[in-house]
A = this chain, B = another copy of it.
Amino acid sequence: MVNETQHTCSASSSSRSDGGSSSGSESSKDNSRCSTPVLDADRHERLREKMRRRQDAGDKWFSLEFFPPRTANAAVNLISRFDRMGAGGPLFIDVTWHPAGDPGSDKETSSMIIANTAVNYCGLETILHMTCCNQTKDDITRHLQKAKRLGLKNIMALRGDPSGEEWEEEVDGFNYAVDLVKHIRNEFDDYFDICVAGYPKGHPEAESYEADLRHLKEKVFAGADFIITQLFFRPETFLKFMKDCQAIGITCPIIPGIFPIQGYHSLRQLVKLSKLEVPQEIKDVIEPIKDNDAAIRNYGVELAVSMCRELLDSGMVHGLHFYTLNREVATTEVLKRLGIWKEDPRRPLPWAVSAHPKRRVEDVRPIFWASRPKSYIYRTQEWDDFPNGRWGNSSSPAFGELKDYYLFYLKSKSPREELLKMWGEELTSEESVFEVFTCYITGEPNRNGYKVTCMPWNDDPLATETNLLKEQLEKVNRRGILTINSQPNINGKPSTDPIVGWGPSGGYVFQKAYLEFFTSSEIVTALLKVLKKYELRVNYHIVNVKGQNITNAPDLQPNAVTWGIFPGREIIQPTVVDPVSFLSWKDEAFALWIEQWAKLYEEESPSRMIIQYIHDNYYLVNLVDNDFPLENCLWQVVEDTFELLN
């Protein structure tokens, strides 16, 4: 929005349509499967309600603005940034709309797809910007329909930049943001929450500050739910603007847009685009240090913190909107210093909940995708019926095909050269593969001095929770039990536990120990003998790439491996070992050997043939120790297996 412009408009204001809300009926439509207790009211509210609730509770909040990147690689990085900055607890993020960048397309870099990723895969409440000038009604409607289909619920309605130097009204076209607001309300009733832009100094093209205020009021009365402002440099600018808005009857939330100065260049460019004037006192500080990026950023952070403090202290401001310029450090720093960056170790569920309205009732998932949650969401995106995660019943919809995992943001974030350094330029034996797994677990550099920070089955370094098992994991990986997923047993830790806790406070969380690994058929033969001794205690599934499947699971029933007990709620069991979905996961897990690892090497090369051999001959094994109150016996199972082999 930083570089948005807007013209005055004379369209008459129309009052907001509130009747026959289709989204209202949607949210009250109860699922006949009532096993999902509402864990988090948040998940069921629309953005404007969340805002109101936070304000009523006296909570301060923040939001983050991003623009779509230019390249697919940059998109992958931006999505990682969403995950990292999402951890700080923004109330929402928003994604700008660049008409030149084909913003409504299916390209990896389009506004639409970036916003889609934020809401569905990162679980972030997301506002999609949309501009209307130089576009047909049909185009706009198509974009809005697509946004709705993708699960987007909030639109920032903007005019957009005129195509020529001079602004000319189009007959029957969308000439002003207010036209877009009206169009959205006409065509989509109350489905979307609508945000509009406010200009604390007045829009540069407006006849006057007062005229601009009147236009803002028109946008609000046409159906906008809240206002985000253009950036400004002095807190009093915003506070005056806010009072002026209130004076003419604008009562909806007005969120100040904060721009932490991050560099001399970006500031100059911004000023040029927004036609804002930088106050002399700021220029005086910046000019002398204009070549010292660090100094400017430090100053920018100081300035932003002090301005935000003043805004919050005024009692008029409840939320702050940050223009991040897709950067992380300065904004995070400001938020942390303000104390509103809230990295809450308490997750509502052990896995990230998608923010798609269709998926908000989802309350159980198979454990197999724990390290590939985006793949899971992608492959189940066509499902109508959540909660799911159980494939054993006839109502289960089709599971997305394996080819879907080529989804761009599931591709490894590291380039080929880096992966080769981590996973080995040249593999000489199966043992060199064992070493890679071991280094990933230990965090120690490999024999060439490189740390293994990701694996084909794990995009990220080892989870904190898995760290609890590090010592044992190292031992077994060295010997060819190639672990890709595990969790310790937990017997009733508080739901607020910083490592294993999740869900509302006052509860208790539990886990059954779980271990999943690839291993050779020789080890599987010994393992099966050992497992006879543990028949009543350990459930296992053992499968190879051809689908040969050995299990002692009763009747293909799921085994709950993570559950929580909370005050005044039904039991929540968000993670299961589901025998049927394991066979879908198996396809994905085996394919990753080839797609992500083997293909790094030349065809017919020894390295590639080693990975191919493992793919063709190893088994994928999962083990659950059902006796969660006792000491985890899975290590003993593995120990016994090695002993039998010796």
Contacts and interface: CB of A to CB of B under 8 A. Distances in A.
Contacts of A573: 570-571
A497 to B, nearest CB: 13
A565 B567 contact: no
A515 to B, nearest CB: 16
A560 interface: yes
A567 B393 contact: no
A258 B573 CA distance: 49
B553 A560 contact: no
A260 interface: no
B395 A30 contact: yes
Interface residues of A, number: 45
A565 B560 contact: yes
Contact of A33 (B32, B508, B537, B554): B32
Contacts of A390: 34, 570
Interface in A558-581: 558-560, 563, 565-571, 573, 576
A393 B508 CA distance: 26
A567 B633 CA distance: 14
Given A510-B565, A560-B565, A565-B560, A393 B32 contact: yes
A629 to B, nearest CB: 5
Given A33-B33, A34-B393, A629-B508, A554 B536 contact: no
B628 A565 contact: yes
B537 A554 contact: no
Interface string A287-321: 00000000000000000000000000000000000
A555 interface: yes
Interface in A468-520: 491-492, 506, 508, 510
B539 A567 contact: yes
A464 interface: no
A74 interface: no
B38 A557 contact: yes
A31 B35 CA distance: 14
A101 interface: no
Interface string A540-555: 0000000000001111
Given A393-B30, A491-B492, A558 B536 contact: no
Interface string A387-414: 0001011110000000000000000000
A560 B567 contact: no
Contact of A626 (B37, B492, B568, B571): B568
Contacts of A32: 32-33, 385, 393, 395
B30 A567 contact: no
A485 B537 CA distance: 35
Given A30-B393, A32-B393, A629-B492, A567 B537 contact: yes
A533 to B, nearest CB: 15
Contacts of A392: 34
B566 A570 contact: no
A559 B568 contact: yes
Nearest to A540: B568
A485 to B, nearest CB: 18
Given A559-B569, A560-B570, A571-B571, 15 more contacts: A32-B385, A32-B393, A38-B554, A38-B557, A492-B629, A506-B626, A539-B567, A554-B569, A558-B570, A559-B570, A560-B569, A563-B565, A565-B628, A566-B626, A568-B624
22 contacts: A30-B393, A30-B395, A31-B393, A32-B33, A33-B34, A35-B35, A37-B558, A38-B555, A492-B492, A492-B629, A506-B537, A506-B626, A506-B627, A536-B567, A539-B568, A552-B568, A553-B568, A554-B568, A557-B570, A559-B570, A566-B626, A570-B573
